[in-house]
Structure 1
Amino acid sequence: MAARIIPGVQVTVVKDVAPPQLAPSGVLGLVGLTEKTFEFTERASSWSRFLEVCGPASAYSMPEARLALANGVFELVIVPLASSVATKAVVSLPNADNDNFTLEARAPGIWANGFKLKVSHRGEKFDLEIKLPDGDTLEVHRNLEPAIVADFLEKASAVVRVDKTTIPPKRPKEGEYLLAGGQDASDTDYINALEALKDEPDVDMVLAAVQYFNDAEKVTKVYSAVISHCELMSADSKGRIGFGQVAPNATIQDATRMLTPLISDRFILLAPHGVVGAVAGRIGGLDFFQSPTFKTLSGISKLSRAIPLEEQGGLLKENVVPIVNQLGRGVIILRGLTTDGDQISVRRVADRAVRGVRMLGELFIGRLNDEDGRGALKQKLNEFLVQMEREGALVSSTDGKDPAFKVDVFSSQADFALGIVRVDVAVRPVRAIDFIYATIFVQL
C-alpha cells in the first residue's frame, strides 16, 4: 500500500470469506434400464420431467423413480444403462395369412414379460387390450387397422410399439398373446454405469434398479459395487448411502444370506421386494438429521408380501429393514438402520459435516498460513457447526457436560514449512428414539 503524502483518509476494503450454500440433501443417483438412452446423466425433480427425458415405458422398467418422487426425494440423477445383453420382450400376432405383426416392449428388461395382449375384432378393424400379468387392464386401444397401428401405438401406448418391418396388410387373429423374451442388463452393465455418478458431487444416495433377482450372485455383485462406490466417494468427502432390496418372496433365510457380504455403514437392505424406491424417496425427503423410523410411505397400495410379526424381529436382528403395514399408520419403515446396525440419520449427519468442512476448507486454500488465517478458518467452521446444532443435527451430551462439537485448527512448525494446516473436528449427531422403556408403579 502506497503511503499518503497529503493528509487524508485511505480506506482498504478486505472482502470476507463468504461460504456458498451446501447442495441440498436428498439427491438420488438412479441407475437402470430406460426407454430413451442418453450419453450423459439427466436430472428430474418431477414425474413429468422423468417421463420426458426417459420415455413413458421407463415408468415400468424403472418403477423406483415414481415411488422416489412420490415420497419427496429432492432430485433424481438418472444414469441409463448401455447394455448389449438387455433385450425387449416381444410377441408375434399372426393374421389369417399367417403373416405376423411383431409388437415389442418400449423399454428393455424383464418387466414386460408376462404382459397379456388381447386382440378382438370390431367390424373390419380390431381392438388391442394390454393387461398386467395379474389380469388387470393397463391400456385399451380401439378401432385399429394395419395401416395406422404403428404410428398410433407409438403415440398412444406407454407399453408397446410395432416393429415397422413386420406390418402385414391384414389385421391379426383374435386371441390372447403374451409378451416374452425380455432380459435384464448384466451385472457388469450396472457396475460400469455407476462410474457416471462420480461426476455428480451433490448425489448423496445411490440406487441400482435391478430387475432380475433370480440370480442372487448377480444382485449381490451389483449391490457390492454400490457399496464400493459409496465408500470411494465418501473418502473424497462426498458421502453417499446405497439402497437395495431382497428378492420377491424372499424368506428371512434368503435375506440373511444376501446380507452377509453387504454389511456396511453405507448400505440399507429392505424387505419385502418392491419398496426400495419409496424408502429412498422418503429418506431423501427428510431433513438429513431426521430418522426414517416409523415414517409413512406413499404410493404403495399393497406390499408384495406381508411380513409376519415374528419375522419382523428376525429381520431387524440381521439389520434388514422391514417395511410393514401398521394399523393406524399405513405402510411404514419399521426402523431406519444400515446393514451394520447404526441409525441411518447418524451417518447422514456425519456426511453433512464432512461436506461442510471440506467446502469451507477449500475457501482458504491459497490464503496465508498465519494466526489470522487459521483463526478465520476456525471461525467459519464454528459458524457452520453452530448452524448444524441450531437445526438440531448436533447435540450436547445427555448430562450437558460435553458440547455438541469441538473444533481445533493448528499448524506445527513442520506443517508450516509444508503449507499444511490441520483441523480436528468432533461432532455428536443427534439420535432418534427407537425404544421407550416405561415403569408404572401401582400404588395403594
Structure 2
Amino acid sequence: MATEALPGVSLTFEPRGSDEEPLRTDVAAFLGRFRRGPVGTPVRVESWRDVLGAFGAPDGGSASPYAVRGFFENGGRTAWLLRVAGEGATARTGWSVGEAGGFGATRYEVVATSPGSWANGGRLTVRYRSSTLAGRPEVDVRVTVPGEPPESFPGLAPDALVAGVAGSRLIRLVADGPAPPPRGPGPITRSWELTLAGGEDAPPGRADYHTAMVRQAELPEPALVALPDLGTDLTGPDHEETVRGVLETVRPLLDRLVVLDVPPGLASVDKAVAFAGSLTAPGDDTAATTAAVYHPPLLVPEGTGARTVPASGHVLGVIARLDAERGAHHTPANAVILEAVDLAVAFPPAQQVRLMDAGIDLLRCTRGRGLTVWGGRTLSPVPRVRHVAHRRLLHLLVRAIRRVADPLVFEVNSPELRLTLVRSLTSVLLAAFRAGALAGDRPEQAFRVVCDDSNNPPGQDPATTVCEVEVAPAVPMEFIRLRLVLGADRGLEVIEA
C-alpha cells in the first residue's frame, strides 16, 4: 500500500494483482518444500517478493525456493506454489494477561501461522498501557522470528487483539480463556516477553505428494508443473511410483507439461538413462508425452559461493519467457538461461548422446553464449508427439476449446449449436494459424473442424454433440487430432485421437 497525505486530502492506493487466466500457457505450479507457509494449499504469486512474503526466504534446506526464484529470474510472471510436508508440529506458547484490564480473554495462545521448526525461538513482545491520550488502554505488539523481517502492531485495543494481529505473516492469537471479570484499577503498564517453541518439520511422503498433485490438477491456470524436491524426498520405488502417479494425474487434462529433474542419487549417466526409461509403462507411451526431463542441475550464486539446484525452475522460466515473446508453439531450445553460473556436471560428447537418446533434454554451456537450453522433447518415443512445442500447442488449443465450448454444454444438439461450435473453434484456430503455429499457406490446409451429420448421425442422443478437430502444426511437429464430446450429463470431454 502506498499512501500520500496532504492537508485535508488522503490518497490510498491498493495494488491489484492480475486475475486468473486459464487460457495462459506460461503459468507454472511448483510442488515442494518451503521454509514456512500453508501446507497443501495453493498460493498464487506474481513475483519473488510475493514468494518471500508467503513462504519465507530460502534456508538451504530445500530446492523449491531456489527453483521458484530461478523461474522469476528467467522471465516467469505467475506461479502457483504448494508446500508439501508431512504432519509436522506447529510452534506455540501460552500467554496469561493477569490483572491487566480491557482484554477480551484472560489467556491467549500464540501460534505460528504454519507448521515446522521455522518459528522456534520466535519472540512476541507485548507492551500494555492502561491509559493513553485517547483515554483507553492500548497494546503494542512486536513479532521477531529468526530469518524473518520483524513485524510491529502498535496501538491495538486490548479487546480486539486477535483481529489486530490477524494480518501477521508469522503468528496468530487464539483466545484460550473466558473474558476477564470486572476488576478495579490494574497495573498502569506491563510487558510480556513470549517465546515460541515446539515446532517440528516432517518430511513429505508419497501420500503428501499425491494430495498436492490432485490439488494442483484442480487449478485451471497452471500449464507447467515442477517438483524440485521430489528426487530428494523420495527414492527408489516410492519415487518411481510417485512420478508415475503425477503423469497419470496430468495425462487426461491435456493442458499442462510436467518438467522433471533427474534425482540426485541417479546422477550417473547409466542411472539417469534407466530413470528416463522407467517412466513409460510397457505398451503405454501416452503418459510420457506429458513429461520432459532436463539435466544436469545448475550452479547458482549464493553468498560468496554457489549452490547446486535442479534445472526445472530455471527451465520453466525460460519456457514462460519464450511463451510471452513468441507463443506456446515455439520450441524452448537454444534459449539462454539467466541467473546461473555453470552446470553442476559437464558430460563428454559420448555421454551426451546417450542421455539425449534416452529422451533427456540437456543444458549446455558454450563459449560466448553461456548457459542454454539444448533440448525440447518429451519422454515419448513416438516421433509425432515427441516435441515439447507439439504438446504445448495442443495444451493451448485444449484450453481455448474449453473456453468456447464449456458454455454450450447444456445446449441441445441442433444445427444451430453445431454452427456455433464450428464458428467458435474456427476463430481459435485462425488465431493460431495467423501466429505461425500451424502449417500450410491457407487456413484450410492448416486445420479442419467437422461437426455435422457425419459424426452426429440422425437418431443420436440429442443431449450429446460430437465435434472433431484436425490441426497441422508447423514443422517439425505432426498432425494433431482432437475429438470433442459435449453432453449435459458428462460436461465437455476432450480426447486426443
Alpha carbons of 1:228 and 1:369: their partners in 2 closer, same or farther (altered >3 Å)?
closer
The one-letter amino acid paired with 2:470 is: A
Q: Which residue is equivalent to 1:207?
A: 226
Q: Which residue among 230, 243, 249 is the counterpart of 2:259?
A: 243
Q: Which residue is equivalent to 1:255?
A: 272
Alpha carbons of 1:58 and 1:42: their partners in 2 closer, same or farther (altered >3 Å)?
farther
The one-letter amino acid paired with 1:242 is: V
Q: CA deviation at 1:21?
A: 7.6
2:116, 2:374 → 1: CA distance?
A: 34
Q: Which residue is equivalent to 1:429?
A: 473
1:350, 1:35 → 2: CA distance?
A: 36
Q: Which residue among 345, 357, 361 is the counterpart of 1:317?
A: 357
**1:151-174 deviations in whole A, cap 9, x for unaligned?**
4745469xxxxx9579xxxxxxxx
1:200, 1:22 → 2: CA distance?
A: 9
Q: Which residue is equivalent to 1:227?
A: 247
Q: CA deviation at 1:431?
A: 3.2
Bigger mean CA deviation after superposition, 191-200 or 340-349? 191-200
Q: CA deviation at 1:253?
A: 0.5
Alpha carbons of 1:201 and 1:272: their partners in 2 closer, same or farther (altered >3 Å)?
same
SS across alignment from 1:403: helix
1:65, 1:53 → 2: CA distance?
A: 13
The one-letter amino acid paired with 1:265 is: T
Q: CA deviation at 1:183?
A: 7.2
Q: Is residue 188 from structure 1 mapped to residue 224 from structure 2 by the alignment?
A: no
1:308, 1:71 → 2: CA distance?
A: 27
2:212, 2:38 → 1: CA distance?
A: 12
Q: Which residue is equivalent to 1:132?
A: none
Gaps of 5+ in 2: 1-19, 92-113, 118-142, 151-193, 281-287, 298-309, 478-497
Show the 5 A alignment for 1:289-300: 289-300=329-340
Show the 5 A alignment for 1:118-157: 151=144, 153-155=146-148
**1:107-132 deviations in whole A, cap 9, x for unaligned?**
969xxxxxxxxxxxxxxxxxxxxxxx
2:90, 2:296 → 1: CA distance?
A: 27
2:34, 2:115 → 1: CA distance?
A: 6
The one-letter amino acid paired with 1:426 is: E
Bigger mean CA deviation after superposition, 292-301 or 52-61? 52-61
Bigger mean CA deviation after superposition, 361-370 or 275-284? 361-370
| 8 Å Cα contact 2:85/2:203 also seen in 1 | no
| 8 Å Cα contact 1:59/1:65 also seen in 2 | no
Q: Which residue is equivalent to 2:450?
A: 408
Q: CA deviation at 1:336?
A: 0.6
Q: Is residue 217 from structure 1 mapped to residue 237 from structure 2 by the alignment?
A: yes
2:251, 2:145 → 1: CA distance?
A: 48
- How many residue pairs get matched? 332
Q: CA deviation at 1:266?
A: 0.6
SS across alignment from 2:468: strand
Alpha carbons of 1:165 and 1:230: their partners in 2 closer, same or farther (altered >3 Å)?
closer
1:57, 1:370 → 2: CA distance?
A: 57
The one-letter amino acid paired with 1:48 is: R
Q: Is residue 26 from structure 1 mapped to residue 70 from structure 2 by the alignment?
A: no
2:242, 2:203 → 1: CA distance?
A: 13
The one-letter amino acid paired with 1:205 is: L
1:107, 1:56 → 2: CA distance?
A: 16
Q: Which residue among 414, 417, 421 is the counterpart of 1:377?
A: 421
Q: Which residue among 283, 296, 299 is the counterpart of 1:272?
A: 296
| 8 Å Cα contact 1:385/1:405 also seen in 2 | yes
| 8 Å Cα contact 1:265/1:347 also seen in 2 | yes
1:303, 1:108 → 2: CA distance?
A: 32
Q: Which residue is equivalent to 2:52?
A: 51
| 8 Å Cα contact 2:26/2:224 also seen in 1 | yes
Identity of aligned residues (%): 19
1:378, 1:21 → 2: CA distance?
A: 23
Q: Which residue among 442, 453, 464 is the counterpart of 1:420?
A: 464
| 8 Å Cα contact 2:57/2:147 also seen in 1 | no
Q: CA RMSD in A?
A: 3.3
2:88, 2:146 → 1: CA distance?
A: 26
TM score, norm. by length of structure 2:
0.60
| 8 Å Cα contact 1:216/1:258 also seen in 2 | no
SS across alignment from 2:445: coil
2:411, 2:210 → 1: CA distance?
A: 40
Alpha carbons of 1:86 and 1:379: their partners in 2 closer, same or farther (altered >3 Å)?
same
Alpha carbons of 1:423 and 1:59: their partners in 2 closer, same or farther (altered >3 Å)?
farther
1:254, 1:281 → 2: CA distance?
A: 27
| 8 Å Cα contact 1:270/1:323 also seen in 2 | yes
Q: Which residue is equivalent to 1:83?
A: 86
| 8 Å Cα contact 1:28/1:206 also seen in 2 | yes
Bigger mean CA deviation after superposition, 356-365 or 344-353? 356-365
2:387, 2:89 → 1: CA distance?
A: 36
Gaps of 5+ in 1: 1-19, 89-105, 110-149, 158-162, 167-180, 434-444
The one-letter amino acid paired with 2:46 is: S
Alpha carbons of 1:327 and 1:231: their partners in 2 closer, same or farther (altered >3 Å)?
same
Alpha carbons of 1:277 and 1:401: their partners in 2 closer, same or farther (altered >3 Å)?
closer
The one-letter amino acid paired with 1:394 is: L
| 8 Å Cα contact 1:51/1:59 also seen in 2 | no
Alpha carbons of 1:335 and 1:194: their partners in 2 closer, same or farther (altered >3 Å)?
same
Alpha carbons of 1:187 and 1:371: their partners in 2 closer, same or farther (altered >3 Å)?
closer
Alpha carbons of 1:87 and 1:259: their partners in 2 closer, same or farther (altered >3 Å)?
farther
Q: CA deviation at 1:330?
A: 1.4
| 8 Å Cα contact 2:261/2:293 also seen in 1 | yes
1:182, 1:419 → 2: CA distance?
A: 52
| 8 Å Cα contact 2:433/2:443 also seen in 1 | no
2:68, 2:203 → 1: CA distance?
A: 17
| 8 Å Cα contact 1:337/1:343 also seen in 2 | yes
Alpha carbons of 1:356 and 1:308: their partners in 2 closer, same or farther (altered >3 Å)?
same
The one-letter amino acid paired with 1:36 is: R
Task: Give 1 or 2: higher strand fraction.
Answer: 2
Q: CA deviation at 1:60?
A: 5.8
Q: CA deviation at 1:354?
A: 1.8
Q: Which residue among 344, 354, 365 is the counterpart of 2:398?
A: 354
